[in-house]
Structure 1
Amino acid sequence: MTEPSGETAPEAPEDVAPTEDVQEDVRQGAAEPEEPGTAEESATGEEPAAAEEPTAAQEPDVAEDSDEPDADAAETSDEPDVADASHESAGAEPDEPTSEAAEAAGASEEPGADGDAGAKPSDTPELSDAQAELAAQRELRAKIEARKAEKEGPLSSGAKLSGTAADLLAAVRAVEGGAASGSAFYEAPEPAPRRPTPEATPALTVRPPVPAQASAPAPGTTAAVREVLAKGGAPETLAAQVAAALGEGAAQALLDDPWQLLAVPGLRPEQADGFARALLGAACGPDDPRRTVALTVWLLERAALQGHTALEIDTVRAGLAGHAVPDPGSAVEEAVSAGAVLVFQEEESAVEVHEEDEESPEAAEAATDEPAAPVLLGLDRYALAEESLADGLARLVRTAAADPWEGSELERAAGAHGLVLHTGGEASRAEPVALAAAARERGLRTLVAVHADGGRRALGPAGADAVTVAALLSGAAGPGRDEEGAFALDLLVVLDAPQLDVETAAMLVESLPDGCRLVLSGDPAVLGAPGAGQVFGDVVAARVCPRIASRVPDPGPLGELVSGIGAGELNQVEAPGKEIVIVPVRDAGEAVHRTVQLVADSVPRAIGVPAEQTQVVTVGHGGSAGTRALNAALKQRLNPGPGRFGGYDPGDRVAYAPVPGRTVTGTVLSADAEGLRLRCGDEELLVPKERVESALRHGWALTAHQAAGLRWPAVVVVLPGDAAGGLSRPWVYTAFGRAERHLSVVHGVDQALPRAVAEGVAPERTTRLRPLLEALLAVPEE
């Protein structure tokens, strides 16, 4: 394999130990300013300066909250973390560097964010199309939940608990009903003596749920919040975000409970602690119940950014201990009693004991030795989503009438079942598309949905009738709905199903009418969904419906390479047409320099793919060869300019996150008083000026999670030496699989790459969907 320029790539160096000082983020939720160093330094091959950590008063880099999580990068922070305490050895966490000596929000100066010009928040921000879309989805979800409650009554999850889980649930229900405090039902070791809270300390407050409809905060609310922020030494530019998160009473809520500042995405406990000390002085401490409740919620919200819908109770206690909470057990009790978090313990399948075996010691021992299911803590929104999704999938399974369809194995399965899984690589996408065409010929109302516009265009002529999942749910595309909000469909085929997070999947399934068939198709080897949950993997693992595995291999050298990676082997592949090129580099500076050279010169000249059709994929946003540094260097070479609007110029390639967890790629067309105008596929979008800094970043370089579900004619994957800790088999499989015609690998991780392919398993996610499905569908209805 050779470089496009014709140079012969030297053999890979000997194995070296991977360095530890890597990848800050790759997950949404980071709080780091984008300071990658100058573009000139990157373009010349010199290593860009490391990003400066935020000071106490700096605002969160909310753009990180909008990015899909790369579940594979190691965080450089020394702060104890929930994921570390649970099951994520490789880090799978947001780019949220700590301010080690800082009392967050304790200084008065405002942060210098990238491209600050013209991007100041407004007191009365207008709703963007994306915000309106999200609001419509939430309104629809509320209607669906109300209809479900009327038809079926309250959800029964958690009704059959025992031990600690039952006690915790009883606490929640007792407090909700006003009968008692949850502490009366919570069995725990005697807590350590706690410093008495002054009488003036207000009662606990629980963060309000996400509103069903997004709306701009009133000017008076924002002004009042600004005054409180100034009093606590926090940047006043956070006012609009705080007002939007906490609602009309935001100012008083902050005065009563300063830790409600954690409602703003990207802010960290250290920042909220500094703000609380400035407001309360000696009246607050590490064991303040307001702090411990807010921290418990924050830990679960942060875990959701990493894909979890719940966490084991011991993991939460460990996370609280890492944030200097003196009595984590009592803190969990406090959060449950306040109704801020919910508790679950799913039933495990018990060993069945027949009457004739009741006296058998062996049978009794087998029954009692069954390990108890772990006690989980979770947030209401994800609990409701998983339970609604499980109920909806079970409804489709039970209401679809079996019909003996002729044709392929997939067609026959879809005719006989209401829910079918289809697995395979990129080439296998033709099979569910063919199923949809055959169903239309049978007179069925059929639709194909994909993750992103790029996936729709990749289907060729068949993609003309396909829609994105987001457009379908918002009503921008697809069939109409009936009076109950159900789609007029008989068959829905969802491609790229591994990219479905639990909330999106719940809204989708709840919108399908009884008797509708659902086919979920995707590649189980790719990185998981950017949001909370692992819907496709959980349904596969539950074994509650047919699974049809495609036998269609991906063609050519690229298909051979990616297929081998999926099997755990990094094979040497013959690439006579320069389909695959390895470019060894010694350090991050050289990696940036060679990447720019490949995109701007070598690939267009040797492969014939222009720079605008070549995508760079790297492990994380931070680091000396992350997306920030690479985008700065690529802009300097491909579209130099002063960044006239918030750091952007017409012609810049961008990645836009209209809602957290979904990335749209496009090009800047122009800027005006309203905001930045983009061309994304066949659409023109407006990014309001107050959202430019938080929802937009340059897009010549993306993370693998951002790139999932999309493909380009040429892809350059950048693996600098400090990326070794962020690699896993799913990451490599996803990144390498984005290329259609040509793949260049800027290789600086030595033997860490084959090790990751052979041994690097992606961190597991803690979810509840699988046991919920098994409980609902384990025994067929009579």
Structure 2
Amino acid sequence: MSTEPETTEDTGPGTPGADTAADTPQTGADADAGATGQETDAPSEDGAADGDAAGGADHDTGTSADGDDESSADGGSGAEGSTDSKDAPQPSEAEAELAAQRVERERIERRKAGKQGPVEAGGKLSGKAADLLAAVRAVESGEKPVAGAFHDPEPAPRRVVVPEPERRPQPVTASATAPAAAAPEAVTAVRAVLAAAGAPDTLAPQVAAALGEDADRQLREDPWQLLRVAGVRPEQADGFARALLGAECGPEDERRGRALTVWLLEQAALAGHTALDAPALTAALTQRSVPDPDEAVQSTLAEGEALVFQDALDTAAPAREDTEEPEERPVRVLIGLERYALAEESLADGLARVMNSLPKDDGPAADWEHAATSAPRSAAELIRAVAGHGLVLHTGGDASGAEVAALLHAVRSLGLRGWAATHTPGGHRRLASRAAEDGLRDGPEGADDLQVSTVAGLLSGAEGPGRDADGALDLDLLVVMDAPQLDVETAAVLAESLPDGARLVLSGDPGVLWSAGPGRVFADLIAAHVCPAVASRTPDPGPIGELVSGIGIGELLQVDAPGKEVVIVPVRDAGEAVHRTVQLVADSVPRAIGIAAEQTQVITPGHGGAVGTRALNAALKERLNPGPGRFGGFDPGDRIAYSPASGRSVPGHVVKADAEGLHLECAGVPVVVPKERVEQSVRHGWALTAHQAVGTTWPAAVVVLPGDAAQSLTRPWVYTAFGRAGRHLSVVHGVEQALPRAVAEVPQKPRTTRLPALLKAQVPAAG
């Protein structure tokens, strides 16, 4: 390895866990490009949950461009895909996705409307659990109105397939992704209420949009409704209520208890939970100075603002010797918002339908076996599993995409319609490259002909096979790549969109960060053991693959990197971290590794602080594309991360700005973001968080681990961040022994969900 004269900083190839003392010898061209270490981004900058609600969100949960909390980002559906036909203009992709999701939600609600009776409950509860159950039974008995019930209608017969209209690429406008603007008079009325209480009147548009046309009346009657506006904290709502109500305001107010209960459940959803254990919720209410948290929960249930569930625990009590009957199985009481309860119920129903409706006449078993034996050895097990089951899980790293490509090839050879859906626009290129490595490119059925769309484009109809007359996707097999990124609502819509008899394969790396939205669908399915799970035997290649594989099992290995595939850059403070990161991207990696700055991605734990994405993007823009930022801080040529929907990020660059808005190009698709939406949906993109980067790889990645990020590091975060590098990984290392400790000891943050219990109640174990 070479030693460069212009620097005295030490770098070492191979292991991020190695000692980085000052006497470490210099190790290559990257020594001059170093990076830093003191990350000063406080967890509250990006933590989605309040912490009261049974666990916080990951430090970088999501992809929003309009605030520190990525999980709560607003935005629309995908920038990818096109939406019009030859003969008539079609809605934009964002509009089409919103319409498609609205139709699917209506179908879900109709399917649920037939279920009779309350949620099944045990008969021997007492204390708080009995009180909560009594409250929800009062709702279900009709004493209080409640929205929705849950039974499936008789399935309608399948009809003739509707041909998919021809499409051609058109610019996608982001205007449809914005929430409906409130009427000016409603905003004016809300502004008057806010001003009367000394609250900032700049909140008026958000309050009016969140509460509706009579928002001013709702605020006067219940000031704590202000908590329904994203970003408003309980202490701010309390101050607003005191200013409006005066002596009538107190911590025991029933309205305050209900509002805080809903707010805590919403914060829990931002942290990934679909429900909260009742004791955790009441404890969080106690921390918020609610005098009677049980009463607050019961009032919320009675008003239909939340639902209560009782899920049997796995520990079944055996029958005692002196009795003939076993003791009643213990249950846990969960409280959740109807939105996520409905999604989990719908997802469980949809998956059960997929597993139980596998067609028996889709080809002789011998044909499937021939397809399996003709495929590469690593893919044969996956093909055989799909042949006999409606739902299959496929686990593996990035290289396992070759097995998915082989499966799609085999399905097409049998005359079936197979599609893959990825979360990022570059998914087709990744899948095709893996297929080429496995020898599938040759011939008309090769990798170039793989049918791949994005999840957003598939659901909106802008991409994919289209839908039949019943509204179901017109396909026989759907493979969802990067399945850990599926949140419960998106997964429910996908499951409900599948026709009877279609197969579903969820493929992904279980070691990466979970979805930015609520739920842990892929992990829940693996834990439930209700369907076959096929583990890939295709390892990710090279030193980076070896390093990431070790992290996945809790070991930070020292790897041999003769081609400087892995380089460690020790740093001491935040200023040095920023300097080293910029030097790596702009100089050392292009010169020593031959990878241009445009193909190098910086990844850091959070948005705020001295070494967050904001600071790094400002420094990188100054070096790589300086300019005045005339349009919302952006100039032509800036790298950006566009957030078309909460929890999703699409990389791209700025093309120009004009009266229509900011013109972007994201994965080859033109996107126009109106001026009023730029701040909410576009960030600079030289530096991203791991949640923004998941699902995409770059030729080179620079992972920044500043000193005060040590407490936020987890094994999945490190696994995800290091795994974004294709050919070269530089680690700007300032956390010392916190890195190997996080890899060995800090797992994924737990999430409370109901999906495993719902699945086990409907589907027997797969064995």
TM-score range, shorter chain: 0.7 to 0.9
Q: Which AA in structure 2 matches 1:168?
A: L
Aligned counterpart for 1:392 among listed residues 347, 350, 367: 350
> What is the correspondence of 1:677-756 to structure 2 with a 5 Å cutoff?
677-756=663-742
Once the two structures are overlaid, the 10-residue window that deviates more, 652-661 or 166-175, is 166-175
> What is the correspondence of 1:302-701 to structure 2 with a 5 Å cutoff?
302-348=267-313, 351=316, 360-361=321-322, 367-368=326-327, 372-402=330-360, 404=365, 405-406=368-369, 407=372, 408-460=380-432, 461-462=447-448, 465-701=451-687
1:12–1:584 contact (8 Å) kept in structure 2: no
1:80–1:323 contact (8 Å) kept in structure 2: no
2:513–2:720 contact (8 Å) kept in structure 1: yes
Q: Which AA in structure 2 matches 1:153?
A: K
2:11–2:34 contact (8 Å) kept in structure 1: no
Query: Shift of residue 478 of structure 1?
Result: 1.1
Question: Could you tell me which residue of structure 2 aligns to residue 68 of structure 1?
Answer: none
| Matched residue SS, 1:694 | helix
Question: Could you tell me which residue of structure 1 aligns to residue 192 of structure 2?
Answer: 227
Question: Could you tell me which residue of structure 2 aligns to residue 143 of structure 1?
Answer: 106
2:352–2:763 contact (8 Å) kept in structure 1: yes
| Matched residue SS, 2:312 | coil
Instruction: Report the Cα distance in structure 1 between the residues aligned to 2:622 and 2:51, rounded to whole angstroms.
Output: 37
1:34-70: CA deviation from partner (whole Å, max 9, x where unpaired): xxxxxxxxx999999979xxxxxxxxxxxxxxxxxxx
Matched, 1:153 2:119: no
1:703-762: CA deviation from partner (whole Å, max 9, x where unpaired): 111111011111000001001001111111000000001100000000111111111111
1:413–1:420 contact (8 Å) kept in structure 2: yes
Q: Which AA in structure 1 matches 2:228?
A: A
Question: Could you tell me which residue of structure 2 aligns to residue 19 of structure 1?
Answer: none
Change in CA separation of 1:468 and 1:85 when aligned onto 2, cut-off 3 Å: closer
Q: Which AA in structure 2 matches 1:294?
A: A
Change in CA separation of 1:154 and 1:450 when aligned onto 2, cut-off 3 Å: farther
Q: Which AA in structure 1 matches 2:427?
A: G
Change in CA separation of 1:721 and 1:715 when aligned onto 2, cut-off 3 Å: same
Instruction: Report the Cα distance in structure 1 between the residues aligned to 2:193 and 2:734, rounded to whole angstroms.
Output: 49
1:2–1:581 contact (8 Å) kept in structure 2: no
Change in CA separation of 1:550 and 1:635 when aligned onto 2, cut-off 3 Å: same
| Matched residue SS, 1:453 | coil
| Matched residue SS, 1:86 | coil
Question: Could you tell me which residue of structure 2 aligns to residue 171 of structure 1?
Answer: 135
Query: Shift of residue 245 of structure 1?
Result: 1.6
**Superposition CA RMSD, Å:** 3.4
Once the two structures are overlaid, the 10-residue window that deviates more, 660-669 or 275-284, is 275-284
Larger RCO: 1 or 2 (CA < 8 Å, sep 6+): 2
Matched, 1:256 2:258: no
Instruction: Report the Cα distance in structure 2 between the residues aligned to 1:80 and 1:713, rounded to whole angstroms.
Output: 30
> What is the correspondence of 1:84-95 to structure 2 with a 5 Å cutoff?
86-87=54-55, 92=58
Question: Could you tell me which residue of structure 1 aligns to residue 25 of structure 2?
Answer: none
Question: Could you tell me which residue of structure 2 aligns to residue 276 of structure 1?
Answer: 241
Once the two structures are overlaid, the 10-residue window that deviates more, 718-727 or 398-407, is 398-407
Aligned counterpart for 1:239 among listed residues 196, 200, 204: 204
| Matched residue SS, 2:640 | strand
Question: Could you tell me which residue of structure 2 aligns to residue 12 of structure 1?
Answer: 19
Matched, 1:760 2:746: yes
Query: Shift of residue 362 of structure 1?
Result: 8.3
Change in CA separation of 1:113 and 1:542 when aligned onto 2, cut-off 3 Å: closer
Q: Which AA in structure 2 matches 1:414?
A: V
2:52–2:287 contact (8 Å) kept in structure 1: no
Aligned counterpart for 1:266 among listed residues 219, 231, 241: 231
2:418–2:451 contact (8 Å) kept in structure 1: no
Instruction: Report the Cα distance in structure 2 between the residues aligned to 1:684 and 1:769, rounded to whole angstroms.
Output: 38
Query: Shift of residue 438 of structure 1?
Result: 1.1
Instruction: Report the Cα distance in structure 2 between the residues aligned to 1:45 and 1:396, rounded to whole angstroms.
Output: 50
Q: Which AA in structure 2 matches 1:459?
A: L
2:639–2:651 contact (8 Å) kept in structure 1: yes
Structure 2, unpaired ranges of 5+: 13-17, 23-32, 69-74, 76-90, 147-175, 373-379, 433-446
1:677–1:687 contact (8 Å) kept in structure 2: yes
Query: Shift of residue 177 of structure 1?
Result: 5.3
Instruction: Report the Cα distance in structure 1 between the residues aligned to 2:727 and 2:201, rounded to whole angstroms.
Output: 49
> What is the correspondence of 1:114-133 to structure 2 with a 5 Å cutoff?
132-133=95-96
Instruction: Report the Cα distance in structure 2 between the residues aligned to 1:706 and 1:428, rounded to whole angstroms.
Output: 22
Instruction: Report the Cα distance in structure 2 between the residues aligned to 1:462 and 1:162, rounded to whole angstroms.
Output: 61
Instruction: Report the Cα distance in structure 1 between the residues aligned to 2:722 and 2:587, rounded to whole angstroms.
Output: 21
Q: What is the aligned-residue identity percentage?
A: 59
2:701–2:724 contact (8 Å) kept in structure 1: yes
Instruction: Report the Cα distance in structure 2 between the residues aligned to 1:360 and 1:274, rounded to whole angstroms.
Output: 60
Structure 1, unpaired ranges of 5+: 16-42, 52-72, 97-111, 115-120, 122-127, 183-210
Question: Could you tell me which residue of structure 2 aligns to residue 109 of structure 1?
Answer: none
| Matched residue SS, 2:216 | helix
Instruction: Report the Cα distance in structure 1 between the residues aligned to 2:448 and 2:120, rounded to whole angstroms.
Output: 45
Change in CA separation of 1:94 and 1:375 when aligned onto 2, cut-off 3 Å: farther
Q: Which AA in structure 1 matches 2:334?
A: L
1:228–1:251 contact (8 Å) kept in structure 2: yes
Query: Shift of residue 308 of structure 1?
Result: 0.4
Change in CA separation of 1:508 and 1:276 when aligned onto 2, cut-off 3 Å: same
Once the two structures are overlaid, the 10-residue window that deviates more, 285-294 or 507-516, is 285-294
Change in CA separation of 1:294 and 1:639 when aligned onto 2, cut-off 3 Å: same
Question: Could you tell me which residue of structure 1 aligns to residue 154 of structure 2?
Answer: none
Once the two structures are overlaid, the 10-residue window that deviates more, 167-176 or 539-548, is 167-176
> What is the correspondence of 1:4-153 to structure 2 with a 5 Å cutoff?
8-9=10-11, 12-13=19-20, 74-75=43-44, 83=51, 86-87=54-55, 92=58, 132-133=95-96, 135-149=98-112, 152-153=114-115
| Matched residue SS, 1:467 | strand
Instruction: Report the Cα distance in structure 1 between the residues aligned to 2:424 and 2:458, rounded to whole angstroms.
Output: 12
Q: Which AA in structure 1 matches 2:521?
A: V
| Matched residue SS, 1:346 | strand
Instruction: Report the Cα distance in structure 2 between the residues aligned to 1:606 and 1:241, rounded to whole angstroms.
Output: 50
Change in CA separation of 1:159 and 1:318 when aligned onto 2, cut-off 3 Å: closer
Change in CA separation of 1:686 and 1:155 when aligned onto 2, cut-off 3 Å: farther
1:190-240: CA deviation from partner (whole Å, max 9, x where unpaired): xxxxxxxxxxxxxxxxxxxxx999633223222322322332333333222
Change in CA separation of 1:94 and 1:522 when aligned onto 2, cut-off 3 Å: closer
2:38–2:734 contact (8 Å) kept in structure 1: no
Instruction: Report the Cα distance in structure 1 between the residues aligned to 2:594 and 2:764, rounded to whole angstroms.
Output: 54
Query: Shift of residue 167 of structure 1?
Result: 4.3
Query: Shift of residue 623 of structure 1?
Result: 2.0
* Structure 1 moving runs of 4+ over 6 Å: 1-7, 43-51, 93-96
Once the two structures are overlaid, the 10-residue window that deviates more, 534-543 or 607-616, is 607-616
Q: Which AA in structure 2 matches 1:746?
A: V
